[in-house]
Amino acid sequence: MRIVSIRHKNLARFVGKLRVRITFLIGMNHSDECRNLSFWKAHQLSDGRWSFHVTANYRLTFEVDDAAQEIRILDLEDYH
């Protein structure tokens, strides 16, 4: 999949922790592949976006458009 938009300006600060997650996102073919990622505490949010655990406070969130094969609104959110 192709990443088409990134929201968080300081995403580079977490590059080490995010590299594997972003590589996974680029390589996936469908959002259903996220369902079995318990080690990243992957889950779908009520608004349809997905969330991956990064640190105690931060989550990588994103929207997937399976038809267009795109990741949209990639963001690093502070949950606290």
- pLDDT tens-digit series, residues 29-76: 999 999 999 999 999 999 999 999 999 999 999 999 999 999 999 999
Question: DSSP alpha helices (H): ranges in 1-80?
Answer: 15-27
Render pLDDT for 6-29 as a digit per residue (tens, 0 to 9): 887 777 677 788 989 999 999 999
Q: pLDDT value at position 3? A: 87
| Most distant CA pair in the chain, distance | 33
> Could you give the CA distance from residue 4 to residue 1 in angstroms, rounded to a whole number?
9
Whether the CB-CB separation of 40 and 34 falls below 8 Å is answered with: no
Domain boundaries, the chain: 2-78
3-state secondary structure of 18: helix
Query: What topology is assigned to 2-78 in CATH?
Result: YaeB-like fold (3.30.2310)
CA 21 centroid distance within chain: 7
So what's the pLDDT on residue 14?
Answer: 78
Predicted TM-score (pTM) of the model is: 0.86
The predicted pLDDT at position 53 comes to: 95
